[in-house]
A and B are shown apart, each in its own frame.
Chain A
Amino acid sequence: MARSRDDFVIAIRSAFLKKKDKQKFSLLTLLFLSIFVIVLSNYNFKIIELVKIGINEVTYRVSFLVSLPENKIQNINSQIKDHIKIYDNYKNIESELKKLKQKQLSNNFLKMENEKLRKLINESIESDELLAKVLIDKDSPFLKSIILNKGTKDKLKIGMAVVDEIYLVGKVIEVNFTNSRVLLLSDLNSKIPVILEPIGIQAVVSGTGGSEGKIQYTKEEYSNKIKSQDIIVYTSGLGGIFKPGLPVGKISSDNIGKINFFSDFKQLEYVKVISHLIEGKN
């Protein structure tokens, strides 16, 4: 009994403390070092923040370079697919364009009317847009985020909204000097205040970790109000983080509670970061 316990102790001691010829640190030293790093990353000291930013800067750049061949192959693959479907796409786009031209006329009128009404209540929304390239978009099964090539040197701040064309895709959660991380709407930790139109109900959109989102925390029951119509989800602007009126996604009447995001987060190449200011002169 004592013999087997001795063997166990020797095996454990050898595993944790013994170093091979080429190894500089023992396993135990590195285990303690990693625990130390985990504990340190929990604190927001200036020096730790600077070290973190330095590591992020270098790692994101190297990862971007390493991913270049794979991204090139993926681009070629999607280009070939696009060429194959070119005629069908042309027909679809042609019919969509007709419909959009008709809609644009009524939209222009609504836009002008909206501006007039805002003037009446002395409110204006000013926003700045900054175009950014997506450096890394690793489709991790656990966390959904992307890395942009803009950082504090371009005056990016945590909390800014990120859009693909006009559609919201997420918000900035980490800013380094030349790059930043965006938490996508599909991430489990993403919570965005929204308004469901045309029924006008306030809600919170949460990510599911998959390709769609879900509605949470509605003040009133909305399923009866949907009936046979589709619902468009816009940012409500509550909390002042996001500009109000950014399109987020669509809820189909046959699948209530599930939001299909307008933007395809797996195809992001360039995005816009939006900062906005709501001014009321009362």
Chain B
Amino acid sequence: MSSLNKDSLSSLLFSYFPIGMLFLSVFNDFDFNYLKIEYFSFNFAHILIFFWTLKNPNHLGYTSIFLAGIINDVIIGIPIGITSFCYLLICSVTAYIRNITLTPNFINDWLSFLFIILLINSIQVTILDLVFLIEVNHLKYLINIVFTFIFYPIFFILFNYINKKITIRLND
């Protein structure tokens, strides 16, 4: 009985992992910025949204992603709605890739990820710079894109492992 309870609890924890991590990352800036390395930053939320909406969208709903974007805007102090729009653009690309892909390929996914992070960061900089007249550091955005792209395979392995766990537990 107790092992059954333990199993159902761990299944529940695993199934809410993507949403939990997304909200934790926007509330708490999970991007190693506290390491205080001058030219280092990456966007964990972009990797998380891209992976889960591509591989297992049932565990990361669009409404949650929209709300997480609003929270992120409030916390970092940019006009509300920009991050939500960018996050949902990631979802659009992953939904499109899912529809046209028969056999998933890591390299294709990774290159698609590069395309989408370049696109959404360009949109964000353009809106902030030209519409809201908020000055931003372009070099830091570029560094952020590079590290986010480089870190994707590491998180891919981790998330893939968790995704397999979730799928096995749901099928049991």
Contact = CB atoms under 8 A, between A and B. Distances in A.
A21 B61 CA distance: 10
Given A14-B99, A27-B62, A34-B88, A70 B140 contact: no
Contact of B62 (A30, A41, A56, A181): A30
A18 B99 CA distance: 11
B93 to A, nearest CB: 8
Interface in A4-37: 7, 10-12, 14-16, 18, 20-27, 30-31, 33-37
B96 A37 contact: no
Q: For chain B, what secondary structure do more than half of its interface residues adopt (helix, strand, loop), or is it mixed?
A: helix
Interface residues of A toward B: which range? 35 or more
Nearest to B40: A141
Nearest to A26: B62
A141 B80 contact: no
B109 interface: no
Interface in B114-159: 127, 131-132, 134-137, 140-141, 143-144
Contacts of A42: 79, 131-132
A27 B27 contact: no
Interface stretch (A60-68, A99-107, A117-125, A240-248): A60-68
24 contacts: A15-B92, A15-B95, A15-B99, A18-B95, A20-B57, A23-B62, A24-B63, A25-B66, A36-B81, A37-B84, A38-B79, A38-B82, A55-B70, A55-B80, A60-B74, A63-B75, A67-B27, A70-B34, A139-B36, A140-B29, A141-B143, A142-B140, A145-B76, A210-B38
